[in-house]
Amino acid sequence: MNKPLRRIAVFCGFLILALIVRDNWLQYVQADTLAKDEKNRRVTIERYATPRGNIIVNGKPVTGSKESGDGNDLKYQRTYSNGSMWSPVTGFASQSVGATQLESIEDGILTGNDDRLFFRRSLDMLTGEKKEGGNVVTTLNTAAQKAAYNGLKGLGKGAVAAIDPSTGAILALASAPSYDPSTFAGADGKAFQKLDKNKDKPMLNRALRETYPPGSTFKAVTAAAALEHGLYDDIDAPTKSPLPWTMPDTTQPLPNEGNIPCKNASLRQALRVSCNTVFGKIGSDLGKDKMTETAEKFGFNEEQFVPVRSNASVFPEKMDRPQTALSSIGQFETAATPLQMAMVASAIANDGKLMEPYMVSELQAPNLDVIEKHAPKEMSQPLSEENAQKLQDMMETVVNDGTGTNAKIPNVTVGGKTGTAQHGIDNSENPYAWFISYAKTDSGSPVAVAVVVEDSKAGRDDISGGGLAAPIAKDVMQAVLDSKK
């Protein structure tokens, strides 16, 4: 063979080798990735070829499936029962725009394609049975969710998160305004596009994905830091808190809201009337490192996965002394999700132990066999049992004889903290109304709640955590208590 032919033969050999390598790469290395790629139409066709399994609340499905009936190649589409109330929990499964939240995270179970259902699928093939999806059983409480959703509906924008302090199980997760996933479950995505462009952001899960300045509700964290780091021990002893109090390194006094008795007020009194001066000075005296340590034990500065992702709440790590004082009363750059503030109330109610929040109790096969069951898990211990009980005593005073009286429930011990957080440049916009709380009976604390009202229709002077948010929290707690009877 002459030299040019030999070169051509070698070149052709390399081409054939490249084709073989590429073919094997596609068929064996990338096969699984390509098979699951969202751009692969066959994936979508398979997802909607059979009815999806259901998302279950209190033993009843809040989802369903029906035949599309529109002539496209996707046979079934999702349906939702009271979709606007449950969308912050379920998310959506749409033929046109995909899936989110539980519908996306647990898609393998709901479609029946999860590897843990392989034996079931194989058995169905042998017996000729149609493939079915499994179920996702949630921890949500229907009555609590309804109370949260109905409470928010008339108040504009806001969110509610409720947790069982002893386990971390999420009992309610409501967001307003909301949307009905049924309106764009089919192949037509026009309704989704309209919702997506809505300036009020009805598709935003405010309970998990929006961070707000927590205002005075953060004073519960600052009080915990004061007790845990030994700055104060006796909650009824006077604190070293002058009035007025000028923030360190400034000539700026930190104001209180109105003429309230804050000079050297005890921790109990300071929380009862919500003294900025007392808690701002506590944060400044402790310093940013100790304040950050306590905040992070409550879950700040870290995303939560429940299993839906919740944004990380923020306690700023780079602060000077005045900024530390402001951060310690829930201002400056401090920001929290409603879930985070429910976690704060939950840890206090649970004698200082913070349980990892979750909202899926178990995954079921189509025949209802349990595939996976969640085991409650301790996340951290933000404060000792003794200090947690001191803080409970303080928060119960807030409800019994302070700014949180609208959360009182007859014959039930309720602890809480109100907050009215500044909003906008130079506090130019309506403030956020907050309330965090827990209910306690002889058998323990079955529920902790956080409520934020973001954009109330009320006049600015009528916006307060005790006036707007506390009644919603009360209704949610009452709903949980009634369901325990």
Residue 208: name the closest of 354, 318, 100 by CA. 100
Are 91 and 181 contacting, i.e. CB atoms less than 8 angstroms apart? yes
Are 300 and 314 contacting, i.e. CB atoms less than 8 angstroms apart? yes
Question: How many CA atoms lie less than 13 Å away from 389 in the CB half-sphere?
Answer: 4
pLDDT band at 13 (very low <50, low <70, confident <90, very high): confident
pLDDT for 429 beyond 70: no
Residue type, 299: G
pLDDT for 253 beyond 70: yes
For the segment 345-390, what is each residue's pLDDT rounded down to a tens digit? 999 999 999 999 999 999 999 988 899 999 999 999 999 999 999 9
Kindly report whether the global pTM for this prediction surpasses the value 0.85.
yes
The percentage of the chain sitting over the pLDDT mark of 70, rounded to a whole number, equals 89
pLDDT band at 415 (very low <50, low <70, confident <90, very high): very high
Q: Which pLDDT belongs to residue 460? A: 39
pLDDT for 423 beyond 70: no
The mean pLDDT of 92-114, rounded to a whole number, is 94
Which of 37-46, 294-303, 333-342 has the least mean pLDDT? 37-46
Distant-in-sequence, close-in-space partners of 377: CB < 8 Å, separation ≥ 6: 168, 355, 356
Distant-in-sequence, close-in-space partners of 209: CB < 8 Å, separation ≥ 6: 310, 311, 337
Please give the structure tokens belonging to residue 163.
């947790």
Question: The tokens 């990338």 sit on which residue?
Answer: 30
Q: Which pLDDT belongs to residue 459? A: 43
Residue 145: name the closest of 132, 163, 129 by CA. 163
What secondary structure letter does DSSP report for 81?
Answer: S
CA 274 to chain centre: 26
Any idea how long the chain is? 485
Distant-in-sequence, close-in-space partners of 266: CB < 8 Å, separation ≥ 6: 234, 235, 236, 237, 238, 239
Q: Which pLDDT belongs to residue 485? A: 77
Residue 464: name the closest of 265, 475, 335, 472 by CA. 472
Residue type, 81: S
Please give the positions annotated as active site: 216
Q: How far apart are the first and last CA of the chain?
A: 94
pLDDT for 38 beyond 80: no
Distant-in-sequence, close-in-space partners of 347: CB < 8 Å, separation ≥ 6: 165, 298, 353, 354, 380, 382, 383, 388
pLDDT for 129 beyond 70: no
Distant-in-sequence, close-in-space partners of 189: CB < 8 Å, separation ≥ 6: 94, 96, 97
Q: Which pLDDT belongs to residue 262? A: 97
Are 323 and 332 contacting, i.e. CB atoms less than 8 angstroms apart? yes
When mean pLDDT is compared over 34-43, 198-207, 423-432, the highest value belongs to 198-207
Question: What is the phi-psi region of residue 72: left when phi exceeds 0, alpha when psi lies from -120 to 50, beta otherwise?
Answer: beta
Cβ count within 10 A of residue 248: 13
Asked if CATH classification 3.40.710.10 holds for the domain at 208-360+375-483, the reply, yes or no, is yes
